[in-house]
């Protein structure tokens, strides 16, 4: 299947990719033309066709030539000789004129493998012959390929322009990964013939679909990243453009119209009768749910934020920035931003939302300023700042966005951060302070410190609390909010390190038998009754109330890679890999350490599958984590210190303001 994006490069993937990849004795030969561009896996179609001597169609070759020209290409071939011979012919006999040198390199590499297969030494004459037409690096590449093939079993070779690396078993897809790809592909939804998203779940055991047969915006993000990592960009592009069209849909809850710019929580492709004379004619339509049908009528605040984050990732991955520069895409982004930045009654730079407005889409006591939304909000603002075109109409918005970013990071870093020292400060807080210089600005009563936290908080490490309101700190640890604060540099570098240290030191609480706890700890007894409204799905240590969600693995992996601790993610993935496929990819797990499959968990939950795949692929290709991460922005820090210094209420103070930790 070929796909082309205007102004971008082309990629090609065989519909047989999965079956070829699943060959355990696959030989992988990879050549890189440009490390700046991302990896696009290229798999030869129907290798078995070689036995009948069929070569690829000429048009395929031309496309292939073009793909070779623009992107990194990998070949995965079953390792028995006739197929290798076919590969050799493919590269030497087809009209690959786009890049002679690369063609030659492939041909030599394939020959080397072929020779090795029949336990022969490669003829040195062939080598010098090859190197005379190519460049020095090609010669080196083949030389080292040979030295490796002489020593190693030839099943696995990794040929790069710079040399040859033997692939470790880590670099191959495990059987669990192969199963995950099959399931992920099975969940793909098409609209007018084009893939546009993935179903939330394809549970073979549950007849009660509820809305799990829809494409959820937030659920599709790990699927999208998995497809991007695989070099299959079209589905992501189609998703971005089709959901954009849904944004301006007419939406009503009874007789009220929610704000323009809202992105739906999910959508479904429906086939409806076509208006006209033909009673049998039908058409497909996209039917969005903005929360007006969702359980509890919850507003999907996170959808638009994730959409912006994905738009940037798509650009970074494909190099196709023309998509984000399109007028309709810029307008859609601005609509989301305007909705988020609209003035209200808020006193804080954090986004004020109702309960259940994100992944936790039921009543769980997270109304107000939940960390997860703040982290996604910050991330979306950072992404938009990169993507918004510097045009007349956008300058005001850019200014608003920049000052919000500064204020938001100051607020979160200062007031959401908790560690042993801060806890001790709160323990000794004075209350009812009326002044601009109050230490206890939010009038937190020390008695609010929950007993579990006093013993649980380690000497080293800390985290961002779940929510902050007047006289209220939600001390629960929410994984997604903390992880995404690391990913997007909402937390300082030191805070980010402390969060990962905390997860490491409290491994059993966060990872246990299945990564990753959605929040810690659970509400129990009276608290559960009052705060969840006695929700039977959210009983203690189940679902959103302290359940364990495999999907969170991918955000954990991105955070670990960003902080230079991939081994932490590896450990968690190992835990998941031991049982996730046997358990049939549940949506979530129950009990304090995640030992049981969730009471009402769907099986074959797509984002559990995709989250696992993304984690595995990112560990093999860690630089791709930068599609999602943001680094510390000194300009924003400076803007924040200027704002604080120029505040007239602070100017007249006799004592200088205590220097904020994060501004130094
Ligand atoms: C549940 C989850 C929500 C998810 C949806 C679809 O409602 O709480 O986060 O998007 O299922 O999987």
Q: Whose CA is nearest to atom 6 of ligand 1?
A: 200
Instruction: Mention every residue, 6+ apart, whose C-beta is less than 8 A from residue 628.
Output: 225, 309, 313, 487, 558
- The ligand 1 site (C-beta within 6 Å) comprises 200, 216, 218-219, 359, 361
What is the spatial distance between Cα 195 and Cα 286, in angstroms, rounded to a whole number?
13
Q: Whose CA is nearest to atom 12 of ligand 1?
A: 200
Instruction: Mention every residue, 6+ apart, whose C-beta is less than 8 A from residue 588.
Output: 518, 542, 543, 547, 548, 549, 550, 598, 601
Which residues, in sequence order, are bridge partners of residue 605? 201
What is the spatial distance between Cα 361 and Cα 200, in angstroms, rounded to a whole number?
14
Question: Which region among 38-42, 254-258, 473-477, 549-553 has the lowest average model confidence (pLDDT)?
Answer: 38-42
Query: Do residues 569 and 589 make contact, with C-beta atoms less than 8 angstroms apart?
Result: no
For the segment 395-414, the average pLDDT, to the nearest whole number, is 95
CA nearest 575: which of 600, 555, 560, 553?
553
Going by pLDDT thresholds of 50, 70 and 90, the confidence category of residue 159 is: very low
Locus of tokens 């046997």: 582
Instruction: Mention every residue, 6+ apart, whose C-beta is less than 8 A from residue 449.
Output: 423, 426, 427, 475
Going by pLDDT thresholds of 50, 70 and 90, the confidence category of residue 4 is: very low
Query: With pLDDT > 70 as the criterion, what percentage of the chain qualifies?
Result: 71
What is the spatial distance between Cα 324 and Cα 627, in angstroms, rounded to a whole number?
14
What is the spatial distance between Cα 619 and Cα 622, in angstroms, rounded to a whole number?
5
Cis amide prior to 521 (ω within 30 degrees): yes
- Report residue 244 CA to chain centroid gap: 19
Residue 353: Cβ within 10 Å count: 22
Interstrand relation of 519-520 and 589-590 (parallel, antiparallel or unpaired): unpaired
- Report residue 180 CA to chain centroid gap: 16
For the segment 414-432, the average pLDDT, to the nearest whole number, is 95
Tokens of 360: 């936790």
DSSP H helices, 430-537, are 451-456, 479-487, 493-505, 507-510, 525-532
Residue 200 C-alpha to ligand 1 middle, in angstroms? 8
Query: Do residues 385 and 310 make contact, with C-beta atoms less than 8 angstroms apart?
Result: no
**Mutate which of 203, 210, 355, 359 to test ligand 1's pocket (most atoms within 8 Å of Cβ)?**
359
What is the spatial distance between Cα 426 and Cα 448, in angstroms, rounded to a whole number?
9
Question: Which region among 93-97, 333-337, 435-439 has the lowest average model confidence (pLDDT)?
Answer: 93-97
The predicted structure's pLDDT at residue 3:
36
Q: Whose CA is nearest to atom 3 of ligand 1?
A: 359
- pTM for this entry: 0.75
What is the spatial distance between Cα 559 and Cα 630, in angstroms, rounded to a whole number?
11
| pLDDT of 112 higher than 90 | no
Residue 292 C-alpha to ligand 1 middle, in angstroms? 15
Which residues, in sequence order, are bridge partners of residue 419? 462
Task: State pLDDT tens for residues 651-664.
Answer: 544 444 444 555 43
According to DSSP, residue 274 is labeled: P
For the segment 365-391, the average pLDDT, to the nearest whole number, is 97
Distances in Å between the alpha carbon of 402 and those of 106, 161, 305, 528, 640?
49, 42, 16, 39, 10
Closest-lying ligand 1 atom to the alpha carbon of residue 362: 8
Query: In 3-state terms, what secondary structure has residue 407?
Result: helix
Closest-lying ligand 1 atom to the alpha carbon of residue 359: 9
- C-alpha dihedral sign at 398, 217, 614, 240: negative
What is the spatial distance between Cα 557 and Cα 544, in angstroms, rounded to a whole number?
21
Question: Which region among 25-34, 426-435, 478-487 has the lowest average model confidence (pLDDT)?
Answer: 25-34
HSE at residue 582, side-chain half, CA atoms within 13 A, is: 7
Residue 359 C-alpha to ligand 1 middle, in angstroms? 6
Going by pLDDT thresholds of 50, 70 and 90, the confidence category of residue 306 is: very high
Query: With pLDDT > 90 as the criterion, what percentage of the chain qualifies?
Result: 59
Q: Whose CA is nearest to atom 9 of ligand 1?
A: 359
The predicted structure's pLDDT at residue 256:
75
Closest-lying ligand 1 atom to the alpha carbon of residue 605: 12
Tokens of 644: 């604080």
| pLDDT of 263 higher than 50 | yes
pLDDT top residue among 15 and 584: 584
Task: State pLDDT tens for residues 217-245.
Answer: 999 999 999 999 999 999 999 999 999 99
The predicted structure's pLDDT at residue 277:
84
Q: Whose CA is nearest to atom 7 of ligand 1?
A: 361
Architecture of domain 302-419+457-644: Alpha/alpha barrel (1.50)
Residue 577 C-alpha to ligand 1 middle, in angstroms? 22
Residue 153 C-alpha to ligand 1 middle, in angstroms? 46
For the segment 41-65, the average pLDDT, to the nearest whole number, is 29
Burial zone of 100 (CB within 10 Å; 0-12 exposed, 13-18 middle, 19+ buried) = exposed
């Amino acid at each position: 299947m070929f796909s082309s994006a205007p102004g971008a490069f082309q990629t090609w993937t065989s519909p047989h990719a999965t079956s070829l990849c699943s060959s355990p004795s696959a030989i992988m030969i990879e050549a890189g033309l440009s490390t700046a561009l991302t990896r696009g896996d290229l798999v030869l179609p129907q290798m078995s066709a070689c036995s009948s001597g069929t070569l690829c169609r000429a048009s395929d070759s031309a496309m292939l030539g073009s793909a070779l020209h623009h992107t990194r290409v990998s070949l995965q071939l079953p390792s028995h000789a006739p197929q290798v011979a076919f590969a050799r012919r493919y590269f030497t006999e087809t009209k690959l004129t786009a890049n002679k040198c690369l063609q030659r390199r492939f041909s030599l590499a394939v020959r080397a493998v072929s020779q090795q297969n029949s336990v022969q030494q490669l003829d040195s004459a062939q080598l010098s012959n090859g190197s005379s037409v190519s460049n020095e690096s090609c010669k080196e590449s083949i030389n080292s390929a040979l030295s490796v093939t002489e020593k190693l079993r030839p099943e696995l070779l990794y040929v790069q322009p710079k040399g040859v690396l033997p692939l470790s078993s880590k670099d191959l897809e495990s059987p669990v990964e192969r199963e995950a790809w099959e399931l992920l592909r099975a969940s793909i939804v098409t609209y007018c013939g084009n893939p546009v998203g993935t179903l939330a779940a394809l549970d073979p055991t549950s007849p009660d679909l509820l809305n799990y047969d829809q494409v959820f915006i937030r659920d599709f993000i790990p699927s999208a990243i998995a497809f991007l990592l695989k070099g299959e960009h079209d589905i992501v592009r189609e998703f971005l453009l089709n959901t954009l069209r849904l944004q301006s849909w007419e939406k009503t809850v009874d007789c009220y119209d929610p704000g323009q710019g809202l992105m739906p929580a999910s959508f479904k492709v429906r086939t409806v009768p076509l208006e006209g004379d033909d009673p049998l004619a039908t058409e497909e339509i996209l039917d969005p749910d903005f929360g007006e049908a969702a359980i509890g009528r919850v507003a999907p605040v996170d959808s638009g934020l994730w959409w912006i984050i994905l738009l940037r990732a798509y650009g970074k991955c494909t190099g196709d920035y023309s998509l984000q520069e399109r007028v309709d895409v810029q307008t859609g982004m601005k609509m989301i931003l305007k909705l988020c930045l609209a003035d209200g009654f808020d006193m804080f730079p954090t986004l004020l939302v109702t309960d259940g407005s994100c992944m936790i889409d039921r009543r769980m006591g997270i109304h107000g300023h939940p960390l997860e939304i703040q982290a996604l909000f910050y991330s979306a603002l950072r992404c938009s700042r990169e993507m918004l075109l510097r045009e007349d109409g956008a300058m005001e918005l850019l200014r608003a966005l920049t000052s919000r970013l500064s204020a938001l990071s100051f607020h979160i870093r200062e007031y959401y951060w908790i560690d042993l020292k801060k806890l001790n400060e709160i323990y000794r807080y004075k209350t009812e302070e009326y002044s601009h210089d109050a230490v206890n600005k939010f009038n937190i009563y020390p008695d609010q410190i929950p007993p579990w936290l006093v013993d649980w908080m380690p000497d080293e490490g800390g985290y961002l609390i779940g929510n902050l309101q007047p006289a209220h700190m939600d001390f629960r640890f929410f994984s997604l909010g903390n992880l995404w604060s690391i990913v997007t540099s909402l937390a300082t570098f030191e805070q980010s390190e402390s969060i990962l240290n905390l997860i490491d030191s409290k491994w059993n609480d966060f990872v246990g038998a299945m990564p990753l706890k959605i929040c810690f700890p659970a509400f129990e007894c009276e608290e559960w009754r009052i705060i969840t409204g006695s929700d039977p799905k959210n009983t203690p240590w189940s679902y959103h109330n302290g359940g364990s969600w495999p999907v969170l693995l991918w955000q954990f992996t991105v955070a670990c890679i960003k902080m230079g601790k991939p081994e932490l993610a590896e450990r968690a993935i190992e835990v998941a890999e031991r049982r996730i496929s046997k358990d049939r990819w549940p949506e979530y797990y129950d009990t304090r350490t995640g030992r049981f499959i969730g009471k009402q968990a769907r099986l074959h939950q797509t984002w559990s599958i995709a989250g696992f795949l993304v984690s595995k692929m990112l560990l093999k290709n860690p630089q791709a984590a930068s599609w999602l991460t943001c680094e510390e922005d000194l300009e924003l820090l400076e803007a924040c210190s200027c704002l604080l210094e120029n505040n007239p209420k602070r100017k007249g103070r006799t004592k200088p303001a205590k220097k904020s930790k994060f501004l130094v």
